[in-house]
Structure 1
């Protein structure tokens, strides 16, 4: 009986909090006028974390693993919204992306190798 009550309580708390879902498939990377772009192609709000591998001067703050954090940049994109930035989404670099459905703090970094969880 105690296990059943505990299970019911856990399920109830989950339903109240509404765990976020992975939204990696919602983020499309493209090319803008001055930088790469990230675009929310889904019909829900998506939080995106990202970093890149461009080591040229001026791009260090977006570099993966900079100052003991893997992902360096964050944005919440509304459905159909696109983001461009010369320094954080530079041309000639690979972008590493984490994305979850939901607003701020939906996406949590795990470790220093690109892992993430949706909260």
Structure 2
């Protein structure tokens, strides 16, 4: 399976291991585009029988992921949304990696 068209994730497959380098300069802020790439990666890797392990690392030696990009908060509505009974945002992506039958490691 090919892992192309990722802007912020550099992906290399070697002997059953997907090496995924997070590269969202200047300090690996977690923004909506990066969340989307994590989600797309999870959907692809779950179907790839050649991948048994995913190892995440960072292109930035000082930050794995610094924090969520708070500039997004400037465009949020004034009123809070109704309470949801389902996971949203990055939470379902993390849950999908946590529960998939493949090992994921943050290096």
State if a TM-score over 0.5 links the two structures: no
* TM-score normalised by structure 1 residue count: 0.25
More strand by share: 1
Whose radius of gyration is greater, 1 or 2? 1
* TM-score normalised by structure 2 residue count: 0.27
More helix by share: 2
